[in-house]
């Protein structure tokens, strides 16, 4: 007997076309993503309320040394003993699912990131909730598509719908949700993909309006008109944001790698990460949590409030306040990546959306304050606002996302021109030094990243398994010419890999090299394979990205190259013709709508 689920799927296949089903699912994906975003925000606020009112009270300072450690410990224990899977780097996981053409995200990601990041951020972890909720939305889309047995291309679209819905729901930014998905996650903009993405993003935003009101996330108390004569200073701010994005991207990546390679024990990571985070938050309270309160203060001209509960606050009355404020915020810019890595590396769960917005607002404010102290006249509020767009554009390599997100977050549509200037200049600046965003960097190093370049995408989708040829006859270095002639007679190929007793590749033997002596029986016992073999033009590793394989073929001019594993054990051969045939096959599949 077929189950109710099977009957439901059969009924769908009979009465609802796949095109209509995609539109229907995009609505539900958007709705569920908005609900997940609201749930995560509520969980964070509930924990923060409990910590700040019931646990800490008014004397908050010394508790900064305790609560962040509690948060990442609870999150680490939850991940290790309940989830039992890595749920960090949420957007990188989405990119990986897309790059591998499986588009399958595990079902637990529909809820595990919400719990993990809620515990982490609620107790003060210095990360953002947006990347976890984007992973949650993408997981909802992937699993809904899987439940209705849709193909991988449609599953990929549903992942995009989940991401668009998550951004639209958590930020109340429907355009930014659409643009983020197209810029950061998707490969091609087509009419087939736009409608479902719009439905998810608008649905999620509408539900967010219903639950929390239509007020933007960072409402502006005052507005500054755009003046043409300030364009040069916005250009300067864009370049500064680009360089800061480079520091953010490379600094965070290298700190993560260092922590991962240096400390392997979970409890030691908890101790080091928790202690580092707690000390930093004690000295610089703005590093506590997402940092959105500090952003609100800066874009509304209340920078002094950021020093509240700080050990440096008493010096405002005795030392030049401008010096204290600028030094204080400059230190926060440098140390924010340390606090974020300590949070995630210690065992917490969170993303870099909020840290990039936080740093952007501070970079914009500090730049404006320095300009004003130098005799210029620039609006610190507007610079803080467009600085957020600059950092987001640089860190994520997504200038359109930076422009539309900040406009929708603040209602600052009157600053579209500065937003565009700073975002584009920041993006161009970081592109001079770093071709990949922080999200994509980890996959790019492994050759597992899909980009907007279709040729490169096809090479990425090709794997060594698809092109490896294992039908070549192998010979040993000690084999006599007479024995070799018998192997040649049985082979259909003109290349013979030379393998030792341990299976390691010693060289190759080409039929052309022995053609002139193979019909002379008097030489059969005089020559051995080791005397006749040659070195290949290059040796490929089994885990080598296909793009690198093609570069090797081009550099050497070879038509066939051997493949080995990490221990130089022979695995097979790859030929240019095989790669070209596979390339054409994948390209046809990849280009189908």
Assigned CATH class of 228-451: mainly alpha
**Axis-axis angle for helices 130-147, 112-122 (nearest 10):** 170
Token pair in block for residue 305 = 């409030």
For CATH 1.10.3080.10, the residue range(s) in the chain are 4-212, 228-451
Kindly state the greatest CA–CA separation across the chain: 102
**Nearest alpha carbon to residue 174 among 184, 164, 182:** 164
**pLDDT for res 211:** 92
**pLDDT for res 148:** 84
Beta strand 540-541 with 560-564 is: parallel
Contact residues for 5 (Cβ-Cβ < 8 A; gap 6+): none
Give the DSSP per-residue string, 256-303.
HHHHHHH---HHHHHHHHHHHHHHHHHH-GGGSTT-HHHHHHHHTT-G
Helices (H), 124-230: 130-147, 152-171, 174-180, 191-212
Q: Give 572's strand partners.
A: 563
Q: Are 207 and 31 in contact (CB under 8 A)?
A: yes
Query: 2.40.33.10, 1.10.3080.10, 1.20.59.20, 1.10.530.10: which CATH number matches 4-212?
Result: 1.10.3080.10
Report helix, strand or coil for 368. Answer: helix
**pLDDT for res 462:** 63
Q: Are 457 and 590 in contact (CB under 8 A)?
A: yes
**pLDDT for res 255:** 92
Helix or strand holding residue 487 (H, E): helix 481-490
Q: Which residue has the tokens 């790669």?
A: 579
**pLDDT for res 186:** 61
For CATH 3.10.580.10, the residue range(s) in the chain are 456-591
**pLDDT for res 453:** 46
Distance CA 510, CA 497 (A): 9
**Axis-axis angle for helices 454-461, 576-591 (nearest 10):** 110
**pLDDT for res 553:** 83
**pTM beyond cutoff 0.85:** no
**pLDDT for res 460:** 57
Q: Give 207's strand partners.
A: none
Q: Which residue has the tokens 């609560």?
A: 67
Q: Give 574's strand partners.
A: 561
**pLDDT for res 6:** 73
Q: DSSP 3-state helix, strand, coil percentages of the chain (rounded to 5)?
A: 70, 5, 25
Contact residues for 319 (Cβ-Cβ < 8 A; gap 6+): none
Token pair in block for residue 116 = 């993990």
Assigned CATH class of 456-591: alpha beta
Q: Are 142 and 92 in contact (CB under 8 A)?
A: no
pLDDT tens per residue across all 593 residues of the chain: 457 767 777 777 777 877 888 899 999 999 999 999 999 999 999 998 888 777 665 556 677 788 888 999 999 999 989 998 888 777 877 877 776 656 788 889 999 999 999 999 999 899 998 889 999 999 999 999 888 888 777 888 899 999 999 999 999 999 999 999 888 876 556 667 788 999 999 999 999 999 988 888 888 776 777 888 999 999 999 999 999 999 999 999 899 889 888 887 888 989 999 999 999 998 898 999 888 989 998 988 888 888 877 777 777 767 788 888 999 999 999 999 999 999 998 889 998 889 999 999 999 999 999 999 998 889 999 999 999 999 999 999 999 999 999 999 888 778 889 999 999 999 999 999 988 787 777 665 555 555 444 445 555 556 777 788 888 888 999 998 888 888 888 888 888 999 998 889 999 988 887 888 888 888 888 888 888 888 888 889 888 877 788 888 888 888 888 999 888 899 999 887 777 766 555 544 544 44
């Amino acid at each position: 007997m077929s189950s109710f689920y099977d009957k439901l799927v059969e009924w769908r296949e009979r009465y609802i076309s796949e095109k209509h089903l995609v539109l229907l699912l995009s609505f539900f994906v958007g709705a569920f993503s908005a609900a997940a975003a609201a749930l995560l925000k509520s969980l964070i606020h509930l924990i923060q309320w409990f910590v700040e009112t019931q646990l800490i009270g008014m004397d908050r300072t010394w508790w900064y040394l305790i609560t962040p450690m509690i948060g990442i410990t609870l999150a680490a224990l939850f991940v290790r003993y309940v989830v039992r899977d890595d749920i960090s780097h949420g957007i990188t996981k989405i990119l990986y699912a897309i790059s591998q053409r499986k588009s399958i995200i595990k079902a637990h990601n529909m809820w595990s990131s919400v719990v993990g990041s809620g515990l982490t951020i609620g107790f003060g972890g210095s990360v953002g909730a947006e990347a976890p909720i984007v992973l949650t939305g993408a997981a909802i889309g992937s699993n809904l598509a899987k439940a209705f047995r849709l193909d991988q291309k449609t599953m990929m679209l549903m992942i995009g719908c989940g991401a668009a819905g998550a951004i639209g729901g958590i930020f109340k930014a429907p355009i930014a949700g659409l643009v983020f998905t197209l810029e950061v996650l998707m490969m091609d903009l087509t009419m087939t993909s736009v409608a479902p993405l719009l439905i998810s993003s608008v649905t999620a935003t509408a539900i967010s309006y219903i639950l929390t009101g239509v007020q933007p996330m960072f409402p502006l108390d005052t507005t500054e008109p755009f003046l043409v004569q300030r364009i040069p200073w916005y250009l300067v701010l864009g370049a500064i944001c680009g360089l800061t994005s480079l520091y953010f991207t490379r600094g965070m990546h290298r700190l993560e790698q260092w922590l991962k390679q240096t400390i392997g024990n979970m409890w030691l990571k908890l101790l080091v990460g928790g202690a580092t985070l707690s000390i930093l938050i004690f000295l610089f309270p703005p590093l506590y949590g997402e940092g959105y309160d500090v952003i609100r203060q800066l874009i509304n001209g209340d920078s002094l409030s950021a020093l509240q509960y700080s050990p440096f606050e008493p010096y405002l009355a005795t030392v030049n306040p401008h010096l204290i404020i600028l030094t204080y915020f400059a230190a926060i810019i440098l140390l924010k990546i340390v606090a974020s890595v300590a949070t995630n590396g210690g065992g917490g769960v969170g993303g870099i959306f909020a840290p990039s917005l936080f740093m952007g607002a501070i970079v914009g404010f500090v730049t404006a304050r320095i300009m004003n102290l130098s005799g210029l006249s620039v609006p610190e509020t507007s610079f803080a606002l467009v600085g957020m767009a600059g950092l987001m554009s640089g860190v994520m390599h997504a200038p359109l996302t930076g422009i539309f997100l900040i406009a929708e977050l603040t209602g600052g549509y009157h600053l579209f021109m500065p937003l565009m200037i700073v975002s584009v200049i920041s993006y161009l600046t970081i592109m001079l030094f770093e071709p990949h965003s922080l999200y994509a960097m980890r996959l790019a190093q492994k050759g597992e990243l899909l980009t907007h370049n279709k040729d490169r995408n096809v090479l990425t989708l090709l794997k060594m398994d698809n092109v490896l040829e294992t039908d070549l006859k192998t010979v040993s270095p000690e084999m006599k010419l007479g024995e070799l002639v018998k192997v040649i007679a049985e082979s259909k190929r003109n290349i013979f890999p030379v393998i030792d007793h341990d299976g390691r590749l010693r060289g190759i033997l080409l039929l052309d090299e022995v053609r002139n002596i193979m019909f002379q029986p008097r030489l059969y016992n005089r020559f051995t394979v080791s005397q006749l073999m040659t070195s290949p033009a290059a040796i490929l590793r089994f885990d080598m990205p296909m793009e690198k394989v093609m570069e090797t073929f081009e550099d050497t001019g070879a038509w066939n190259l051997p493949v080995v594993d990490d221990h130089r054990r022979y695995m097979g051969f790859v030929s240019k013709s095989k790669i070209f045939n596979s390339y054409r096959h994948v390209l046809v599949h990849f280009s189908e709508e």
